[in-house]
Amino acid sequence: MLTIRKSEDRGYADHGWLKSYHSFSFADYHDPAHMGWGNLRVINDDLIAAGGGFGKHGHRDMEIVTYVTTGALAHQDSMGNGTTIPPGDVQRMSAGRGVMHSEFNHAPDAATHLFQIWIEPREKGIAPGYEQKTFIEAEKRGRLRLIASPDGADGSVTIHADASIYAGLFDADETVTLPLNPARKAYLHVAKGMVAVNGQNLQKGDAALLAHESSLTISNAQDAEVLFFDLAP
């Protein structure tokens, strides 16, 4: 089964400094039909204006992955980390038994675009943790590059969850086919451009929800950037 969720069907919030599309129920957006997919709980497509950001706030018992596409995001947390996340970097923060952090776009004249992803952990109450790694464009060109996994395989960041995340860049005749376990769920989000997934055309902001499928084929791409998730059922 492959279900397409169109970009315009997502939740949306405009806070002035923040414009955010919610693929699943989040904050004031609540849709009982879209509470998550497998153990994927949140994908927020965020545009943070110059000088804007999230002040210090807390999280518990969630694996949080941040993927920046343009601009940069400054991060500080109660574990003592103070970093900047540029495009190409992937940040993993395990909230565990509790963590405080802030995120800001300190640029004076440029917006930051990012995806914040929440995945439910395998175990609650673990020690908070942090990791950040760089994945250059060449690693993602014409393929799905593993960027997060339960065991840190292939140099990916380690998430304490039964899930793996891939990122890919596709254009023109670049195609890829990935075998899937039909007993699991999968999710593909189009971050940029246009692409066909198992013959179904998707554009920026669209997503494909997959269940009981044995493979995923990406084709007919036009300047596309995608995030793909292998998820617990």
Whole-number pLDDT of residue 134:
97
How far is the CA of 196 from the CAs of 48, 170, 188, in angstroms? 29, 11, 11
Residue 34 is predicted with a pLDDT of 96
pLDDT of res. 138? 97
Return the SS3 of 139.
Answer: helix
Residue 40, C-beta contacts closer than 8 angstroms, at least 6 positions apart = 24, 117, 118, 119, 163, 187, 229, 231
Question: What's the confidence (pLDDT) of residue 147?
Answer: 98
Which of 52-77 are b and which e, b meaning 16 or more Cβ less than 10 Å from the residue's Cβ? bbbeeeebebbbbbbbbbebbbbbeb
Q: 3-state class of 8 per DSSP?
A: helix
The pLDDT tens digits of the residues spanning 15-42 come to: 999 999 999 999 999 999 999 999 999 9
Q: What is the pLDDT of residue 216?
A: 97
Query: What pTM was computed for the model?
Result: 0.96
Exposed / middle / buried, residue 109 (Cβ in 10 Å: 0-12, 13-18, 19+)? exposed
Percent with pLDDT over 70 in the chain: 100
Element housing 137 (H / E): helix 137-140
pLDDT given for residue 181 in this prediction? 97
Cα angle at 67 between 64 and 72, to 5 degrees? Answer: 115
Q: Are strands 185-197 and 215-231 parallel, antiparallel or unpaired?
A: antiparallel
The domains found in the chain, sorted by start residue, are 2-231 (2.60.120.10)
13 pLDDT band (50/70/90 cuts)?
Answer: very high
Which helix (H) or strand (E) element contains residue 175?
none
Please name the residues in contact with 177: beta carbons below 8 A apart, sequence gap of 6 or more: 215, 216, 217, 218
Both tokens assigned to 4: 């397409």
Element (H, E) at 92: strand 89-94
